[in-house]
Amino acid sequence: MKIILKSASIIAIALLVANTLKAQQKMSAADSLMNAMNAGQKTNDNVAIFKSTRLVLSQTTETIKQGNLNFQVIHRFGDIGGAGNGPQTDFGLDRVNDVYIGFEYGITDNLQADFGRTTVGQMLQLELKLALLHETHDDSSPLAITVMAQSGLRPYQSFPTFSSRLSWLGQVIFARKFSDFFDLQVSPSFVSNNTPYPNLPGDESNFFALNAAARIGLSRHSGFIIDYAHPFSTFRSNNANFSDPLGFGYEVETGGHVFTLNVTNAAAINEINYLSNTQQRYSKGQYRFGFTISRMFDTRPKHKDPAKQ
> Which CATH number goes with the domain that contains 99?
2.40.160.40
Q: Tell me if 214 sits within 8 A of 226, measured CB to CB.
A: yes
Q: What is the pLDDT of residue 23?
A: 34
Q: What is the pLDDT of residue 118?
A: 97
What's the per-residue H, E or C state across 15-79?
HHHHHHHCCCCCCCHHHCHHHHCCCCCCCCCECCCCCCCECCCCECCCCCCCCEEEEEEEEEECC
Euclidean distance between the first and the last CA atom of the chain, given in angstroms as a whole number: 70
What distance in Å separates the CA atoms of residue 156 and residue 165, rounded to the nearest whole number?
Answer: 9
**Averaged pLDDT in 10-residue chunks for the chain of 309 residues:** 41 39 36 41 74 95 95 96 89 95 97 97 97 94 97 94 97 96 97 96 96 96 96 96 97 85 97 97 95 90 64
Q: Tell me if 252 sits within 8 A of 224, measured CB to CB.
A: no
Q: What is the pLDDT of residue 71?
A: 95
Q: Tell me if 231 sits within 8 A of 205, measured CB to CB.
A: no
State the virtual CA torsion across 186, 257, 77, 193 in degrees, nearest 10. Answer: 40
What distance in Å separates the CA atoms of residue 107 and residue 152, rounded to the nearest whole number?
Answer: 21
Cα distances (Å, whole numbers) of residue 160 to 37, 119, 191, 197, 200:
46, 21, 21, 15, 16
Residue 229 maps to a domain = yes
Q: What is the pLDDT of residue 307?
A: 62
Q: What is the pLDDT of residue 44?
A: 63
Strands 246-254 and 206-219: unpaired
Residue 236 maps to a domain = yes
Residue 35 maps to a domain = yes
The model's pTM is: 0.83
Residue 306 maps to a domain = no
Domain with 153 in it: 2-300
Q: What is the pLDDT of residue 308?
A: 58
Residue 130 maps to a domain = yes
Q: How many domains does the chain have?
A: 1
What distance in Å separates the CA atoms of residue 107 and residue 129, rounded to the nearest whole number?
Answer: 10
Residue 309 maps to a domain = no
Residue 106 maps to a domain = yes
Q: What is the pLDDT of residue 82?
A: 86
Q: What is the pLDDT of residue 10?
A: 41
Residue 25 maps to a domain = yes
